[in-house]
Amino acid sequence: MNGDTANLTVHIKYKGVEQTFSGEPEEVWISINKFFSQLLPSFEIANKLVLQVDLEKLVRQCEGIIALTPEGPNLMIPRNKLTDNETIALLLLAAHVAFRLGKAEKDTVSKEALQVKLGKEMKITSTRLGELVKAEIIGKTDDDNYKITTFGTLHMQNEVLPKLRNKTVH
140, 133 contact by CB (below 8 A): yes
Question: How confident is the model over 110-134, as a mean pLDDT?
Answer: 96
136, 147 contact by CB (below 8 A): no
In CATH, which of 3.40.50.300, 2.10.109.10, 3.40.50.1370, 1.10.10.10 is domain 55-168?
Answer: 1.10.10.10
pLDDT tens digits for range 130-153 = 999 999 999 999 999 999 999 999
- pTM confidence score: 0.71
Type of residue numbered 115:
Q
Residue 11 CA to residue 32 CA, distance in Å, equals 10
Give residue limits of the domains in the chain. Answer: 8-49, 55-168
Query: Predicted confidence band at 166 (pLDDT cuts at 50, 70, 90)?
Result: confident
pLDDT tens digits for range 66-91 = 999 888 888 999 888 999 999 999 99
Residue 111 CA to residue 153 CA, distance in Å, equals 19
**Sequence-separated (6 or more) residues with CB below 8 Å from residue 164:** 65, 77, 82, 86, 90
